[in-house]
Structure 1
């Protein structure tokens, strides 16, 4: 006698066909949390990273708590907003497995209370405390720590980033203090320092398999990870950019272009303009060339410059607009957009840029969907 089968007993081949019909990351999260068998089918889906080309990043909003009748205390977890532009539901409450996302939760007794935020990349948040680092998956809460960074107890790290998704071959964590950049190959037993090193990086981006970095003065570097760690400054013409007095520069990988995004204003607001330049290496001397239009691309920047900027193609598929820079508006507590090259006109057009110890609103592609660059 055959037993009755329920939803939890559906075969993986059928569940995978359901996954393929998802219309947003929110749909996929809901599917994965239906039951254990559906969650297993979700993680066995063979091409999850392809969804990052279909769905836009989600906006993690840690400074806005969600009060839900279904909420139950989850120990060191906090419920906060995740805004999914591709979802019909503008705001959804998620249990983010971190405790110090805002000042309200930053207490000494919390396990992360004394850690400081260093950056975010490939769906992971990076923290430090003196010479110790902690890497945490934003949505699963899975965390791991590298060995202590070389130095003494006064060593203070202010920037951290991954060069590739954690599950990809040979990803590195880069950690930077005032004088040095340190490199840890995920899973190894020690850190390495660049030699030679032309400077310390404050932003990195992996573009066509090559790691590029930017320092506080806007100088561009190439970071070589093999066979030896080297940080080499690139001679790039800045003439067109320096005359425009752009602030808050972001290095962004966008399709087949490496872009430098900046704004005429330290805190972009109504009347300010975002401008974009692409790296042109077709001549003997590389230069930044003005980009008049992003065509069918959009760029996503976060409140903290140490959070990985993202790009997305054909945002019209989810109701967005191409040729725009998307950001978090603290006034409206929602996302908004600057059209490239045009002064912002909305009264909600204010971007608060900060680099503090706490996690700020950021755009995220969940780690299970991150693509190797």
Structure 2
């Protein structure tokens, strides 16, 4: 971590005599916050917070932690089968590898219980946590620390979990875990001892996102709903029309993503034969008019999107990706053999844009039984550290 000498001396001298410093652990918060502001890597920020207790306190006191989730790229999580743990038996730990797109040569390894991956069905990720189910049992696991939270057992058993998401950090007040199945939306208020249930009358909810404090849901027919959590679960359809009255056709696995104050829908276009030639179109939901209208986007300008292969993993957006070596108006998508592929957005179909990836890499999405490669931000980026 290189710190310009001029910055160090000037910042410190404004607040205290340099001679009073007793070591790196005693640097003032104002200086530590200036260091945090210069970091463009999620792993660098994790390393900063792990340096010592005072640096960790300074990180959690940083006033704009939420900005890290758009200024830094998310981390790629992959199972690292090549690393063997010395522990054996029922509590063996399985290694996950975290790769930072801003510097792929630097990575981090974390471990979760192996039996979770062997016995539980994967059901999605949210706020830096992985969500699993086994029969009626649910498990929420911090991807970085392996810490586990066990909600109450679900009232019923299902084979399909279309969507699983938290509405806030686990430690925050009034955080909920929402789980969508074929016929119901289940809601667990974190810390309570039971689930509430909302029965579906039409089709299941496939994705839930938050936009300016409002929860937005989408079903399998690309219909949009507002979601109310209290005093009880309520889904209200949000009427929306398509630009020129034309609903996108031949699209596969549409997904929602929030870019600052924009709600976008991405569609995997299948108008071209063989999936390797498909491309991603984007529409912006204009909610300033009634009814709302989906407007086709020609370009995403200075944003990049990150999408995983599992439809239950949330997509992320990153602004000005060139600041960490990325590319604007591009889609970064996970792959099995390669870490990720890169394609243009809102343009004519192209083959893999990144020369480091193979020309045959395909962008596909589905619900997967086991944990696959996914994008995630550390849970500490959402937490106050209390």
Do they superpose with TM above 0.5? yes
Match of 2:228 among 196, 219, 224: 224
Instruction: Give 1:277 deviation, angstroms.
Output: 0.7
Match of 1:30 among 8, 29, 47: 47
Task: Supply the distance in 1 between the matched residues of 2:38 and 2:241 (Cα, whole angstroms).
Answer: 47
Instruction: Give 1:6 deviation, angstroms.
Output: 5.8
Map 1:255-294 onto structure 2 (within 5 A).
255-265=260-270, 269-294=275-300
Q: Which runs of 5 or more residues in structure 2 are unaligned?
A: 1-20, 353-358
Aligned 8 A contact 1:241 1:288 in 2:
no
Instruction: Give 1:91 deviation, angstroms.
Output: 4.0
The question of 1:242 aligning with 2:256 is answered: no
Classify the secondary structure of the residue corresponding to 2:140: strand
Map 1:51-200 onto structure 2 (within 5 A).
51-62=68-79, 64-67=80-83, 76-87=92-103, 90-100=104-114, 110-111=115-116, 113-151=118-156, 154-158=157-161, 159-194=163-198, 199-200=203-204
1:102-136 superposed Cα distances (whole Å, 9 cap, x missing partner): xxxxxxxx255321111111111111112221111
Compared with structure 1, are the counterparts of its residues 135 and 274 closer, same or farther at alpha carbon in structure 2 (3 Å cutoff)? Answer: same
Classify the secondary structure of the residue corresponding to 1:52: helix
Compared with structure 1, are the counterparts of its residues 91 and 215 closer, same or farther at alpha carbon in structure 2 (3 Å cutoff)? Answer: farther
Instruction: Give 1:260 deviation, angstroms.
Output: 0.8
Compared with structure 1, are the counterparts of its residues 140 and 269 closer, same or farther at alpha carbon in structure 2 (3 Å cutoff)? Answer: same
Task: Supply the distance in 2 between the matched residues of 1:268 and 1:242 (Cα, whole angstroms).
Answer: 22
Compared with structure 1, are the counterparts of its residues 202 and 273 closer, same or farther at alpha carbon in structure 2 (3 Å cutoff)? Answer: same
Classify the secondary structure of the residue corresponding to 1:205: strand
Compared with structure 1, are the counterparts of its residues 306 and 240 closer, same or farther at alpha carbon in structure 2 (3 Å cutoff)? Answer: farther
Aligned 8 A contact 2:297 2:346 in 1:
no
Task: Supply the distance in 2 between the matched residues of 1:43 and 1:73 (Cα, whole angstroms).
Answer: 33
Compared with structure 1, are the counterparts of its residues 16 and 66 closer, same or farther at alpha carbon in structure 2 (3 Å cutoff)? Answer: farther
Instruction: Give 1:186 deviation, angstroms.
Output: 1.5
Task: Supply the distance in 2 between the matched residues of 1:195 and 1:335 (Cα, whole angstroms).
Answer: 38
Task: Supply the distance in 1 between the matched residues of 2:87 and 2:53 (Cα, whole angstroms).
Answer: 22
* Greater mean deviation of Cα atoms: 266-275 or 334-343: 266-275
Q: Which has the higher helix share?
A: 2
- TM-score, structure 1 normalization: 0.83
Task: Supply the distance in 2 between the matched residues of 1:20 and 1:282 (Cα, whole angstroms).
Answer: 34
Match of 1:321 among 324, 327, 341: 327
Match of 2:350 among 344, 352, 364: 344
Instruction: Give 1:178 deviation, angstroms.
Output: 1.5
Aligned 8 A contact 2:300 2:345 in 1:
no
Compared with structure 1, are the counterparts of its residues 54 and 243 closer, same or farther at alpha carbon in structure 2 (3 Å cutoff)? Answer: closer
Classify the secondary structure of the residue corresponding to 1:308: coil
- TM-score, structure 2 normalization: 0.80
Superposition RMSD on alpha carbons, in Å? 3.2
Q: Which runs of 5 or more residues in structure 1 are unaligned?
A: 101-109
